[in-house]
Structure 1
């Protein structure tokens, strides 16, 4: 069992090391932003990591080839969706929306950093308590990015 899990994790890490990273926004001064939608995207990524953690738990210890295949796929998906959250925070929010001249800059920076750390912990673990923490950290950003009604 331990060797299977190690092999699955190794395969997932190897796969993601070879996949080029995607950017959350083009990083040009286009002025087209939907911050609330970006937070909702992150919450969808969190929901995917939650499902992945549950599936990893169900598949752990099974020895048939199909279960091993699915285990690797769920680990890879957990990794990717946690990485999506990290990329959204760093490539979108920290580069374009959190500004040093904001009066609450330090607080915003801490809360955004907390999301990155929580996402990293989801990548490192297969326990839903880490997903719960990530979800709470992402939701803590919602007051900064309310939904705009047009």
Structure 2
């Protein structure tokens, strides 16, 4: 049996759509109510991201002083800083806000306020190299951790 070009193209398109659908399902695993949560680990991951952002900021500030400026390294540290800030935003949004914080929990409004502070703090870390944002985020994270595990 011979297949026309249109039939082969259609079959390839269907296969492509199926692969995309399966890939998005795999990425969304954490939003499946599987009950596998490690809240302490997520807090530690955010702390590690903050430490990496801090190191990136320090490296950026040092590299800017060099003459000639090593732009390759400078760009790498900037990208690294932004990547880890984005990880914090993603973790706070997809893990804590979407899955762990519930409206009927105690101090719901305060929890939302603190998590919002982490998201906006990470945005500020992307925009500049001012250490005050890292320090504020550490303080906010500690306050959230104390409140979150108080139950």
Identify whether the pair has TM-score above 0.5, normalized to the shorter chain: yes
Provide the TM-score with structure 1 as the length reference. Answer: 0.76
Match of 1:53 among 53, 57, 65: 57
Which deviations, in whole Å up to 9, do the C-alpha atoms of 1:32-84 show, x marking residues without a partner? 0011110110000000000000000001143547x211100000000000111
Point out which structure has higher relative CO (alpha carbons under 8 A, 6+ apart): 1
- 1:68 equivalent to 2:80? Answer no
Task: Number of aligned residue pairs: give it.
Answer: 123
**Superposition RMSD in Å:** 1.8
For structure 1, the residue ranges without an aligned partner over 5 or more in a row are 1-22
More displaced 10-residue stretch of structure 1: 126-135 or 115-124: 126-135
Alpha-carbon distance in structure 1 between the residues aligned to 2:113 and 2:143: 11
Provide the TM-score with structure 2 as the length reference. Answer: 0.75
- 1:33 equivalent to 2:41? Answer no
Find the structure with the greater CA-based Rg: 2
User: Does structure 2 conserve the Cα–Cα contact (< 8 Å) formed by 1:121 and 1:130?
Assistant: yes
**TM-fit CA distance, 1:145:** 4.3
Runs of 4+ with >2 A deviation:
61-65
Which deviations, in whole Å up to 9, do the C-alpha atoms of 1:3-49 show, x marking residues without a partner? xxxxxxxxxxxxxxxxxxxx796110000001111011000000000
